[in-house]
């Protein structure tokens, strides 16, 4: 099982890295949309949506906003270039305010899961509520991962994905070696507090590694204080992003537990379904994007 899991992860990693580094922003957005549709199909299965008409309605509710966001962004960029009107980006940036809703949702979900995991398992959510939560989570993850690639480049997307992957691997091995205290045993018996600490430690290492990769010259320049502040900001953002990703994983584990299944699907050998692989990313993407917008691109200076 471990060998199969490693082989699948290696193939997926290669495909994703090529997509991040080689695809233009518009085609990367399409690539993420395809993954999102696969995750949406599994979400509908987990939430007992069986009628074809309801499935079609859910996908339409995903596709139309995707087309609208893509058209809005591309149209404004072309208009700005044609008319030499740099202020046009202000209208494109207006979409960034939409990140507030998913960020607040995931923070609230983290708090509720932490405080009331056992009670959540027995709660009955209406199908329309689950449909809306799935729509919000999937659409916002697609939107802000696409915007991260379009506005901040492949390097930032790659860092984000490495951050989540490193945290996931660290949590697994630290939890397996030293895990004693269960994080949310009612929802996911395998996750431990020690594993969570391992994931947060990995976030610190990733943030420090990024600064080392881009060089320490800025820390020795006249703007050293600003560079140090930006580095601290990135470190804090990385740790908080990983924390949100852990509870995003628990959120989808809760839905699977309510359904009575271990995995969201069986498409990926050794890993389960698409949702099983991207659940942490779905939760963390809007939060990370919001943090990067606040910090600014100078973090890479």
pTM for the whole structure: 0.90
Distance CA(6)–CA(26), nearest Å, equals 30
pLDDT at 80: 47
Show pLDDT as tens, one digit a residue, over the chain (301 residues).
566 777 877 888 899 999 999 998 889 999 999 999 999 999 999 998 888 999 999 999 999 999 888 876 665 555 444 455 454 455 455 667 889 999 999 999 999 998 888 888 888 788 888 899 999 999 999 999 998 988 888 999 999 999 999 999 999 999 988 988 999 888 988 899 999 999 999 999 999 888 777 765 555 554 666 667 777 888 999 999 999 999 999 999 999 988 888 888 777 776 788 998 999 999 999 999 999 988 875 444 4
Range of the domain at 257: 2-300
Distance CA(297)–CA(32), nearest Å, equals 23
pLDDT at 211: 79
pLDDT at 79: 47
Number of domains in the chain: 1
């Amino acid at each position: 099982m471990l060998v199969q899991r490693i082989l699948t992860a290696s193939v997926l990693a290669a495909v994703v890295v090529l997509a991040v580094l080689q695809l233009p922003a518009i085609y990367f957005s399409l690539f993420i949309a395809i993954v999102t549709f696969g995750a949406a199909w599994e979400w509908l299965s987990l939430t007992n949506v069986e009628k074809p008409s309801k499935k079609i309605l859910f996908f339409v509710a995903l596709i139309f906003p995707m087309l609208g966001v893509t058209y809005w962004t591309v149209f404004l960029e072309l208009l700005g270039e044609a008319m030499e009107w740099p202020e046009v980006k202000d209208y494109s940036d207006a979409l960034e305010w939409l990140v507030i809703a998913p960020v607040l949702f995931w923070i609230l979900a983290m708090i509720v899961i932490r405080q009331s995991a056992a009670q959540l398992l027995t709660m009955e959510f209406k199908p329309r509520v689950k449909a809306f939560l799935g729509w919000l989570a999937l659409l916002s993850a697609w939107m802000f991962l696409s915007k991260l690639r379009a506005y901040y480049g492949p390097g930032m997307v790659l860092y984000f994905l490495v951050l989540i992957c490193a945290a996931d691997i660290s949590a697994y091995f630290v939890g397996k070696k030293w895990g004693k205290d269960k994080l949310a045993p009612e929802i996911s018996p395998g996750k431990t507090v020690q594993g969570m600490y391992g994931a947060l430690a990995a976030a610190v290492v990733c943030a420090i590694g990024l600064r080392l990769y881009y060089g320490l010259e800025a820390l020795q320049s006249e703007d050293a204080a600003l560079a140090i502040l930006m580095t601290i900001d990135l470190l804090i953002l990385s740790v908080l992003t990983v924390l949100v990703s852990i509870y995003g994983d628990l959120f989808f584990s809760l839905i699977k537990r309510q359904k009575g299944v271990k995995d969201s699907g069986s498409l990926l050998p050794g890993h389960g379904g698409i949702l099983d692989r991207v659940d942490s990313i779905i939760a963390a993407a809007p939060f990370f994007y919001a943090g990067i917008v606040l910090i600014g691109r100078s973090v890479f200076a």
